[in-house]
Structure formats: C-alpha cells, structure tokens
Structure 1
Amino acid sequence: MNWRWTYENADGGELGTSHDFPSRSDAETFIGMEFEELLGRGIDQVRLFEGDTEVYGPMSLHAD
C-alpha cells in the first residue's frame, strides 16, 4: 500500500497531495525535511493516508 500526504490550508481546504511513498517512514521523513518549503507554499497542515485510509491529521506545520 502506498502512503501520501494531503496538503491543506488552515481552514482545512485541500491544496493538493504529495507523491506516493513506499512506507510510512519515507512519508514522515519527507515531511520532516520539507515542512518549511511547504509552509512557504501556503500549506498550513497535512494529513497522512495509507491508500484511501486516513492514518492521522490534520497535523499543523506551524511551530505553535
């Protein structure tokens, strides 16, 4: 099963999705490395999916 992130604004409006990752670890590493760039693109929060199943979220990308 593939893993992917959905990108959202602060109100929960979907702004797009990431590419697919082969594992949860790969997906989480990606967010850890890219969160500042995503914030710069106006993405406020993300949700992690395994296939069509939401695993967790929304997770804010802000430091609050």
Structure 2
Amino acid sequence: MTTPATGWTWRLHGPDGGVVDPADLGVEVPVEEAQADAESWLGEHWRTLLERGAASATLLRGDTVVYGPMGLAAT
C-alpha cells in the first residue's frame, strides 16, 4: 500500500535507529487524514509499540518528515 501524498502516518525505528517494518512488530500503522488523528493514534499505541520493539517514531505527511524521530519511552 502506498502512502497518499497528503496522508499522515508514522515511521517506526528500532533501538539502533533503523527503520522497523510495522508488520514485523505485528501492528498496522494507519494513514490518517489529519495530523491530530495520527498523533492521537500514537498516543494510544506507543506502549504497545515500545513493548514490541519500536524505540522511536517519526511523523510523516506523505513522504515528507514533519518531525522526529521522537522516543517512545516515558521519561
């Protein structure tokens, strides 16, 4: 599935900073129509992502990095 040019989604990274395929973690990262929806999704799922091996996430709009990577571990 390709990411629509205006869709908002997350790129997941492992502890080494490398990109992690969400399928390898047993999750599907949705493509949202709004930034707030994408951020809400991460807010609801960050613990699961962290438990399954993701260490950080980068917000994308289409293929453009909006911000990140940001750590998923609570500080």
Fold similarity call, TM over 0.5: yes
Task: Name the amino acid aligned to 1:47.
Answer: T
- 2:66 and 2:59 map into 1 onto residues whose CA distance is 6
Say how many residue pairs are matched: 64
Unmatched 5+ residue regions in structure 2? 1-5, 23-28
Indicate the residue corresponding to 1:38 in structure 2.
49
Deviation at 1:63, TM superposition (A): 1.4
- 2:21 and 2:8 map into 1 onto residues whose CA distance is 14
Normalising by structure 1, we get a TM-score of 0.92
Indicate the residue corresponding to 1:48 in structure 2.
59
Q: Which has the higher strand share?
A: 1
Q: Give the stretch that moved more between structures: 12-21 or 47-56.
A: 12-21
Once superposed, which parts of structure 1, at least 4 consecutive aligned residues long, lie more than 2 Å away? Answer: none
- 1:24 and 1:60 map into 2 onto residues whose CA distance is 18
Unmatched 5+ residue regions in structure 1? none
Higher CA-based Rg? 2
RMSD: 1.0
- 1:20 and 1:41 map into 2 onto residues whose CA distance is 20
